[in-house]
Chain A
Amino acid sequence: MSPSHRDRALGWVLRATAALVAAIVVLIVAFLVVESAGVLRKLGPLRFLTDPSWHPTSGSFDLTAMLLGSLLVTVGAVVLATPAGVASALFCRYYAPAPLAKLYGRMIEVLAGIPSVIYGMWGLMVLVPLIGKWQPPGPSLLAAVLILTLMILPTIALFSDAALAKVPDRYVRGAAALGLTRWATLRGVVLPAARSGLFTGVLLGMGRAIGETMAVLMVCGNVVQTPGSLFDPIRPLTANIALEMGYALGDHRSALFVSGLVLMGMVVVLVGTAELVSRGRLHG
C-alpha cells in the first residue's frame, strides 16, 4: 500500500471507531426511551412526581424521595469535596516540596483508581458503625455523603491540579514582583485564572457522585423516604435500580427505566454545563 493509501485506510478505521462510540451513546439513550415509553405513555410523566409513595407493585410510582436522595448525597459530597480537592491541588503545586508533591500526586491517582465496592466495604465496616454509635441507626444520608466525598475527592483534586498547571508562570512572577504574598497570589490571581478548569473538575466530580451506585448502596440504608436529618437512611435512584432490577416486571420494570432516563438527563446537563464552562461561556 502506498503511504497515501495507508493514510486513507487509517482515516476510515478511526472514523468507524468514532461512529461506533457515538452510536453506543445514542443506542443507550434510545434503549432507555423505548423501555420506559410504555409506562410513560400509560401513566403520564407527572405520576412519577405526584404519586403518594414508591410501591410499584401496587401501582404507586413516586420518584421524588429517591430523586431527592440522589440530589442530597451529590450536593453534600460536592460541598465537602470541592474545598478539600482544590486545597489538595494548591498544596501539591504551591506548598509541598517537590519529592513530597510527586508522592502525594501518585497517592491521589491511586485513590481515584480504588474500586467503588472497596469504598463501600470500608464504609459498611468502619464508617456506618461509627455513625451508628453516635446517632443510630448508622446507615444514613451522612454515611453516603462521606463515602461519596472520598470517592470524588481525587477527581476534583486531579482536575484542579491540571487547571492550576495551566496558569501561566508569568502571573505568579508578576504577582511576586508586586510584593504579593503567596496566599494573596493564589487567592487573587491563580484561582481566578484557573476558575473554568476548577469548575469543570467539580462538575465531573458531581457527575461521578450522581452516578455512583455500589458504594452508596452499601452505606445509605436503602429506605425509600424523604430524610428528616443527616442520620436518616435514604435510597438514591441508582441504588433503587440496582436493588429492584433483578425482580421487577411490567410497569415496575418500566418505571426503573424511567429513573434511569432521569439520571441520564442529569448527567447530560452536567456534561453540557462543563463543556460551556471550559469554553469560557460561563463564569470564564
Chain B
Amino acid sequence: MIPPAAPPAHTPASTQSRVLAAGARPMVEAQRVSVRYGKHVAVEDVTVSIGRQQITALVGPSGCGKTSFLGTLNRLSDLIPGCEVAGRVSVDGEDIRARGFDLVGLRRRVGMIFQKPNPFPLSVRRNLEFPLREHGVRDRARVAEVVEQSLRNVGLWAEVKDRLDAPALALSGGQQQRLCIARALALEPDVLLMDEPCSALDPLSSGVVEDLIGQLRAQYTVLIVTHNLAQARRIADNVALFWAQGGPGRLVEHAPTEAFFESPRDPLTIAYVGGLRG
C-alpha cells in the first residue's frame, strides 16, 4: 500500500495545540474527512478537533466546502443522492459513521439550524411539541414546561406566548429562526450546527439571532458557518478557515479567534483576514 501523502504544513498537528488544551477531550472530531458529490470533490482531508462548549466559526469563501463538511457531522449528507463521505467523524468519542449507528439518537444530540428558517407549517406550539413527542417526551405537563423554557431560552416567549396556536409561518423571519433554534434546543442537544443562520435575515433580526448564539456558549458546542468575518470575531471562540484553491476545499487554519485575527500563520489566512482575498 502506498502511504498517504505527507500532511501539508497547516495541518491539525500544528493548529490543534493552539485550540485545545492538552488532555482536553474534544466534542467533535473529524479525521481526514472528504466529501464528494459524484465526481466533484467538495472537501478533502479535513482533520479538526472541536472543543466542548465553545463556538467555532467556519469561515471562507463560497464553495469551499464549509456546508458540506457541516453536513457530515449529523450525517444529513446521507440524504443527498450521490454524496459520499470518507474519513472518520466522532461525536463525544463515538464513531458516528459506524455501521448501524443510531441516526435518530445522533440527530437528537447534534441539532442543526439552516440558512433559511424552516419551521414546519404547523402552529408555533406544535413545532416544538411534535419533535419532543417523537423523541418520547409524552407527559403533557413536561412537554408544556419544555416548550415554555425553550421559547424563553431564545427570547421568544414574551413575543409568542399569546399566539402559541397561530401558524409558525406567520412569524417574522427572525422569529422563525429563533423558533427553529428553540426547536433544536428543546431536544437538549450537545452540539448545534448552524449553516449561516443569520444570512437570510434583515440586519435587526440578524443582530438578535447573533446575540442569542453568543449566549449559547458554555452550554452547547456550536459550529457556525458564516461569511461574516466580523460576526465570527464577535461570537466565536475559535475560527476555522476553509479554502478551495482550484480544487476541493481544505481546512487552512484553525485557531483561537484572537490568534486567528491578530497573528494568523497561514498566508491565505493573513490575506483573507486582511481583506485581500475572498
Interface positions of A (Cβ within 8 A of B): 168, 170-181, 184, 188-189, 192-193
Query: Given known contacts A179-B104, A179-B108, is B134 in contact with A174 (CB within 8 Å)?
Result: no
On whether the beta carbons of A170 and B114 are closer than 8 Å, the reply is yes
Q: B76 and A176: CB pair below 8 A?
A: yes
With the chains together, A70 CA to B215 CA distance in Å?
A: 64
> A174 to B120, Cβ gap below 8 A?
yes
Q: Which A residues touch B103, using CB under 8 A?
A: 179
- Report chain B residues within 8 Å CB of A170: 114, 116, 118
Q: Could you tell me the distance in whole angstroms from the C-beta of A18 to the nearest C-beta in chain B?
A: 34
Residues of B within 8 A of A180 (CB): 104, 131, 134
A192 to B111, CA, bound (A): 23
> CA separation between A242 and B269, bound complex, in Å?
82
Which residue on chain A has the smallest CB distance to residue B105?
A: A179
Cβ distance B181 to chain A, nearest Cβ, rounded Å: 12
Nearest B residue (CB) for A167: B121
B interface secondary structure, majority = helix
In this assembly, does B239 line the interface, its C-beta being within 8 Å of a C-beta of chain A?
Answer: no
* 17 A-B interface contacts by CB (under 8 A): A170-B118, A171-B120, A173-B76, A173-B118, A174-B180, A177-B112, A178-B107, A178-B108, A178-B131, A179-B103, A180-B131, A181-B104, A184-B134, A189-B121, A192-B121, A192-B122, A193-B120
**Which of B76, B105, B118 has its CB near the most chain A CB atoms (within 10 A)?**
B118
Q: Roughly how many angstroms separate A258 CA and B155 CA in the complex, as a whole number?
A: 64
Cβ-closest chain B residue relative to A170: B118
Is there contact, CB below 8 Å, between B120 and A179?
A: no
Nearest to B186 among chain A residues (CB) is A178
User: Interface on chain A toward B: helix, strand, loop, or mixed SS?
Assistant: helix
CB distance from A182 to the nearest CB of B (A): 11
Q: How far is the CA of A173 from the CA of B83 in the complex (A)?
A: 15
Give B75's nearest chain A residue, CB to CB: A176
**Which residue of chain B has the shortest Cβ distance to A194 in the bound complex?**
B121
User: Which residues from B are CB-within-8-Å of A178?
Assistant: 107-108, 111, 131, 183-184, 187
Per the bound structure, the CA–CA distance linking A49 and B103 in Å amounts to 62
Q: Quick one: which of B105, B108, B118 contacts A174, CB cutoff 8 A?
A: B118
Residues on B with C-beta less than 8 A from A174 are: 114, 118, 120, 180
Q: Which residues of A contact B157 (CB under 8 A)?
A: none
A184→B108 CA distance, assembly (Å): 14
Q: How far is it, in angstroms, between the C-alpha of A284 and the C-alpha of B105 when the chains are bound?
A: 33
Residue of A nearest to B79 (CB): A176
Query: Please, which residues of chain B bring their CB within 8 A of the CB of A172?
Result: 79
- Cβ of B135 within 8 Å of any chain A Cβ, yes or no, is yes
B106 within 8 Å of A (CB atoms): yes
Taking the complex as formed, is B74 at the interface, i.e. its CB lies under 8 A from any CB of chain A?
yes
How far does the alpha carbon of A177 sit from the alpha carbon of B76 in the complex, in Å?
7
CA distance A189 to B126 in the complex (A): 10
Beyond the given A174-B180, A179-B134, A189-B121, could you list 13 further A-B residue pairs with CB under 8 A, ordered by the A residue number?
A: A168-B118, A170-B118, A171-B121, A176-B79, A177-B107, A177-B112, A177-B184, A178-B131, A179-B131, A179-B187, A180-B104, A180-B131, A188-B130
Q: Determine the chain A residues whose CB is within 8 A of the CB of B121 once the complex forms.
A: 171, 189, 192-193
- A171-B120, A174-B120, A192-B122 given; A179·B135 CB < 8 A: yes
